[in-house]
Amino acid sequence: MAKINFGGVEENVITREEFTLEKAKEVLKGEKIAVLGYGVQGPGQSLNLRDNGFDVIVGQRPGKTYEKAVADGWVPGETLFSIEEACERGTIIMCLLSDAAVMSVWPRIKPHLTPGKALYFSHGFAITWSDRTGCVPPADVDVIMVAPKGSGTSLRSLFLEGRGINASYAVAQDVTGRAFDRTIALGIGIGSGYLFETTFQREAVSDLTGERGSLMGAIQGLLQAQYEVLREHGHTPSEAFNETVEELTQSLMPLFARKGMDWMYANCSTTAQRGALDWYPKFHDAVKPVMEQLYANVADGTEAQISIDSNSKPDYREGLEKELKILHDSEMWRTAETVRKLRPENKEQN
C-alpha cells in the first residue's frame, strides 16, 4: 500500500503494479466467487474475473437477465445457478443486485452466509442504511467492498482495451484476518485501475451525492437550462445542442479528462478565458447551496428512504417509465439522435 499525495492530502492507494494479478490469484486460490445479479455491475465484474482466470459462478433469477447471462457463456447447472444455490456454493458472495433487489432477496441470501465466507458489495447503500434496508450481516463473515467509479459497461469495455476504472475499497468486518487481501484481490481481478481507501458510509454518501449532482442530476439540469435559453432566444436546435452538449462531450471533455480544467483555461481563446473566469464563480455561488442541501439529504438518510419507498411501490416501474419517456422525448435529446448520426464516424458506418 502506497501513500499518494492528492492535492496536499495523503491517501492509501493500491496499484496493479504493487498488487499483481498473480498475487490476486494466489490470495483467492481455492475460493469460489458467486456473483449475484447480472444487471448493471454483474456482467462486467463476473466476465472480467472469469477472463482473468478466477473460479466464478453467477446467481440470477429467471428472466431476460438470466438469458443474457446464458448468452454471455454462463452455463446453467455448471456456472449459472439460482440465487440460493450460488450463495450456497460460493465462499465469496458478491452482492451486485440493485439496492431494491438486495432488500427483497436478503432473506434468501443470509442463511448461506456461513462462518468464514466473505460478503462483497460494490455500493455501501445496503450496509450504511441497514436500519432501513434490513441487511445486517452475521458477525462471523468478512464484509468487504470494491466500488468501481464507473458503469459496469465501462468496466468491461476498458478491461477489454487493457485499461481499467479506478475503484474505492473498504473493509467493514474482518473475521478471517484475510478480509483486506480478499478485497484487493477482487479489486484487481475485476480490472480496477487503482484502488483508493474509503468506508461503506463514505462511499454511499459520496456516490448518492455524485449521482444526484455532477454525474447526472446537476449536469442534466445545467444542460437543459442552457439549451432552453438558447432556443427561447431564437437559436436553432442544432446550434443550441452543439453549443451546449456536442462541443462539451466531443471536444472539451476528452481534453480536460487528460489534462485538467486548469489546462483548459490556460489553452483556450482569451475571450473564452475572460468569460469563464468571470462566470464560474457565479455558477459556483448559485449551485453550492443546492449541493449543501443535497449532501445533507443524503447524509441523514432522506435520499436513501426516498429510494426505498419509491422502489417499493407496486407501480414503481410504470411511473419510472413515464418519467424516463419525458426525458427521452425532450427536444434536446431528440436533437442529439440526429447530431450523432451526422458525426463523420457514424456516416462512414452507414
User: What is the bridge-based pairing of β-strands 9-15 and 2-6?
Assistant: antiparallel
The answer to whether 328 is a known catalytic residue is: no
Spatial CB neighbours of 143, under 8 Å, sequence gap ≥ 6: 118, 119, 121, 127, 137, 171, 172, 173, 179
CA distance 64 to 76: 14
* Greatest pairwise CA separation for the chain in angstroms: 67
Burial (CB count <10 Å: 0-12, 13-18, 19+), residue 88: middle
All three cell numbers of 241, joined, read: 445542442
SS3 category, 35: strand
- If you write DSSP's letter for every residue of 62-99 in order, what string do you get? SSHHHHHHHHTTPPBTTTEE-HHHHHHH-SEEEE-S-H
What is the pairing mode between strands 92-95 and 165-173?
A: unpaired
Which of 112, 123, 284, 328 does the annotation list as catalytic? 123
Q: Crossing angle of helices 200-212/302-311, nearest 10°? A: 70
β-pairing, 192-197 vs 80-81, is: unpaired
**For strand 192-197 and strand 165-173, is the pairing parallel, antiparallel, or unpaired?**
parallel
Cα within 13 Å of Cα(41), Cβ side: 22
Could you tell me where the beta strands, DSSP code E, fall in the chain?
Answer: 2-6, 9-15, 33-36, 56-59, 80-81, 92-95, 118-121, 142-148, 165-173, 192-197
Length of the chain: 350
Provide CB contacts within 8 A for 212, sequence distance 6+: 218, 294, 298, 303
Given a contact cutoff of 8 angstroms between Cβ atoms, the answer to whether 58 and 42 are in contact is yes
Residue positions annotated with a catalytic role? 123
